[in-house]
Amino acid sequence: MLGLYRKHGIPLIMGTDSHYIHPRDATLRQQRLEANHILYEDEGGWYMDYPSGAEAFQRFQRQGVLSDAQIREAMENTRIFESFEDVEFDKSKKLPTIYPELTQEERNHKYLDLVNAAFEQQTAGMTKEEKSVRAKGVKYETDVVTSTGMSDYFLLDHELVRRSVEKGGIITKTGRGSAPSYYTNSLLGLSSIDRFAIPVEMFPDRFISADRILSGSLPDIDMNVANREAFEEAQAEVLGEWRSAPMIAYGTLKRLSAWKMYCRASNLSFDIANSIGDKLKAYESAVKYAEDDEEIALSDYIPEEYRELAAASEQYMGVIDSISPHPCAYLLCREDIRREIGIIRINSKGTRKKTVYAAFIDGATAEQFGYLKNDLLLVEVVKTNNEAFKRIGMEQPDVNELLRLTAQDKETWRMYAEGLTMGLNQVEQPKTREKVMQYKPKNITELAAFVAAVRPAFKSMLPIFLARKHFDYGIPAFDTLIQTREMSSSFILFQEQLMKTLQHAGFSAPESYAAIKAIGKKHPEKVLPLKQRFLEGFAAKSDPEAAERVWRIIEDATSYLYNSSHAVCVALDSLYGAWLKAHHPLEYYTTLLSGYAAKGDKDRISLAKEEMRKGFGIRIVPCKFRQDNRDFYIDHEARTISDA
C-alpha cells in the first residue's frame, strides 16, 4: 500500500523499489475479496500495491500535494528504517549448541569421543579388514564434520534421540533420505544402517560435504517416528524452554479451491460451477491415489467446452489462504524463539480443537536466514512394525540382523511373489502389487531397485526391468561401473550410479554431487562447462564416441533418480513387515487391523481380512464372553482373530 506519513514533521512515504507487487496481483486480491463478499470501505482511493520508485513518484506528482523536491525528500526519508536499532538481517548459520560452556575445539573432541566409543562397540566382533574399511569411512566423515564446525548438530540430534527413546519415543531403525549414507549417523543412533554392510552402494557426499557446508548449507536429518510427543518433550528439555517450536506452513489454494474462487469472482452459474467442481474433485482423488508410475491427465476429466474456464481458474492456484502448524518441521533455536522470531497461536482444524504455539517462520525463510530445523515425520509403517514386534515379545532387530534373517528366507520373499502386501511399505497399492508379483524380488538390492524403478520417469524401461531381461549399453567402461553382483543389468536407478560415473571421468566426490544437482535442475550455464570436461575425462578411459553416449544417458536420467539410501530405507521398512507377516501372521494382521480400526478405515480392514484368509487360512470370529474385546484377540491354536 502506498501512503504518506509524517515523523517529527518529516514527510515519509511507504513504498519503494524493494517490494513490487504487479497490478495483476492487486486485481486478484480484489477479485478474491469480492468472491468472499468482503468489502473494506476505508480502501477507497488507496493504491493497494507496492509500486516501483518511478511509479510512486509519478503517482505523487498526479496527486499534486507535494513539489517534486518534497517527493524526493520524502522518498529518501524512508531510509530512516535502516537506522533502527537491534534490527539485523543476519544470514549466517545459527546452529544451537547444548554445550555452550565448551569451545568449538572441545565440542569437536566430545563429538569424536562419542563416535569412536560407538565405533569400538559396534565393530568389536568384526574382522580386521571389516574394521579397517569402516575406520577409513569414520575418519572421512568426522573430518568433514569437525572441519566445518558442525559437531554441534550431531551432538544435539544424538542427545535428542537418546532422550526421546528414554521417554518412550519410537524412531525408525532405518532412516530417510540421504542421512544413512553417513556411517557415523548409525554410530550416533540416528539409524541402524551400516552402509558398508548394504550391497547397494551409498556415497557419504550425497548427505553432506565440506564444500556444501562451507557455502552455507546445514545438515538435515529427517526422522521417521511413531509418536511425536516424546520427541517434542525431549527437544524442550535438551535445548531449554522456548528454544524449540513447530514452524508454520502456508496453505495455498489448490486446483478445486481455485476453481471455486474463480466461479464466485466470475459469477458463473451454480450448475457449471458444481458440475466442473465434481469433475475436478474426481481428478484430484485420482491423482492422490494414483500409482507411482501412473499419469493422470486433467483433460480426461474436463469436457472440452469447459477447459478454457478451468485453465483460467489456475491463476488462483498458489494464492495463500491459510496458515497452520507445519505437519513435521520444528525450529531449533539458540535464543528464546518468542523474542528471536515471534510466536503465533493457531487453532488446529478438525473436530478436536487444539491450540498450537508455533514459531512464526516457514521453512524457506528459516533456510534463507540460517536457522536449524528438524523434521519429525509420523510414519505409519514405523508404528506398525514396532507394535507387531512387541506383540510377538521380540525386540525389533537392527538392519544387519534383519538382513541376516531374510537373506535366504523363502517365506519372507513369498509375501512379494504372491502379492500378500497389505501393510507392506511401497507395495500395498493394487497396481504396484501386480508389478512386485511379476518381479519377485529376492534380496534387499532387488527390493530397493524395484522401489526406485516404479517412479514415473522410468516407465519406458520398466517392462524390461520387471521381466528380468538383461540390459546394457554396450559400453564396457560404463556398464562395469553400473552393474553389481546382485544387479547384472545396467539400469540407472540411483543418483549414486551417476556420481560414480562422473568420478570415473575425473570429477571429485563433491564435484560429482554438484554436477548431478546442476544437471537435474536443468541449469545449462552450469552444465555446459561440465560436458567438455566429462567428455575428455571419460574418453581417456574408453573412446570419444562412448563418452558422448554416456553424457546423453546422464542428461536423460538425472531428473528422476532416487538416491540409493532413501530407496534402501523404504525397502527395509517394507522388509520388516514382510518378515513379520511371513513368520508371525496372527500378530502382524492383528496389529494392522487395530491400526485400521483406530482410523475407521473399513475398506482396508476388509482387504486385510480377505488377504489373511486366502494367504494364511486365518479366520475372523465374533467376540467372545470373558475376553478382552477392546482389541482384536488372537487364538493361536484355532488360528483365529476375534473381532474387536
3-class SS of residue 297: coil
Q: Residue 7 — very low, low, confident or very high, per pLDDT cuts 50/70/90?
A: very low
Structure confidence at residue 629 (pLDDT): 64
Query: Is residue 267 very low, low, confident or very high in pLDDT (cuts 50, 70, 90)?
Result: confident
Query: Does position 127 have pLDDT exceeding 90, yes or no?
Result: yes
Instruction: Indicate the pLDDT class of residue 573, thresholds 50, 70 and 90.
Output: very high
The pLDDT > 90 percentage for the chain reads: 57
Q: What is the mean pLDDT of the chain?
A: 88
Section 194-223 average pLDDT? 91
Q: Can you tell me the mean pLDDT for 178-182? A: 95
Q: Are 360 and 342 in contact, with CB atoms under 8 Å apart?
A: yes
Please measure the distance between the N-terminal and C-terminal CA atoms of the chain and give it in whole angstroms.
60
Q: Is 255 helix (H, G, I), strand (E, B) or coil?
A: helix
Query: Domain coordinates of the chain in residue numbers?
Result: 3-83, 104-219, 395-559, 584-642
pLDDT > 60? residue 16 = no
**Calpha distance 620→254 (Å, rounded):** 42
Distance CA 436, CA 415 (A): 10
What pLDDT is recorded for position 352? 56
Q: Using one digit for the tens of pLDDT, what is the confidence trace for 148-157?
A: 999 999 999 9
Higher model confidence: residue 381 or residue 33?
A: 381
Task: Note the pLDDT of residue 286.
Answer: 81
Reply yes or no on whether the pLDDT at 104 is more than 90: yes
| Rounded CA separation 512/518 (Å) | 10
pLDDT for the residue numbered 559: 67
pLDDT of 86 reads 67
Output the pLDDT for position 4: 41
- Residue 293 pLDDT grade (very low, low, confident, very high; cuts 50, 70, 90): low
pLDDT value of residue 292: 58
Q: With beta carbons less than 8 A apart as the criterion, state whether 217 and 153 touch.
A: no
Three-state secondary structure string covering 126-190: CCHHHHHHHHHHHHHHHHHHHHCCCHHHHHHHHHHHHHHHHCCCCECCCCCCCHHHCHHHHHCCC
Q: How many residues does the chain have?
A: 644
Residue 27: which pLDDT band, with cuts at 50, 70 and 90? low
Q: Give the H/E segment covering residue 380.
A: helix 380-391
- Residue 349's pLDDT is 65
pLDDT digits (tens, 9 = 90+) for 449-474: 999 999 876 888 899 999 999 999 89
**Greatest mean pLDDT among 29-33, 395-399, 485-489:** 395-399
Distance between CA 73 and CA 54 in Å, rounded? 14
pLDDT at 548: 92
pLDDT at 344: 95
Residue 11's pLDDT is 42
Under the banding of pLDDT at 50, 70 and 90, the label for residue 14 is very low
Question: Bridge partners of 635?
Answer: 640
| Rounded alpha-carbon distances, angstroms, from residue 387 to 536, 590, 594 | 55, 10, 10
User: Residue 598: pLDDT above 80?
Assistant: yes
Q: Which long-range CB contacts under 8 A does 264-271 form with residues at least 24 apart?
A: 264/34, 264/35, 264/36, 265/31, 265/32, 265/34, 265/35, 268/309
- pLDDT-derived band of residue 43, with 50, 70 and 90 as boundaries? low
pLDDT band at 321 (very low <50, low <70, confident <90, very high): confident
pLDDT at 5 over 50: no
What pTM does this model have?
Answer: 0.84
- Of 293, 335, 325, nearest in space to 434 by CA: 293
Name the burial class of residue 170, with classes exposed (0-12), middle (13-18) and buried (19+) by CB atoms within 10 angstroms of its CB: buried
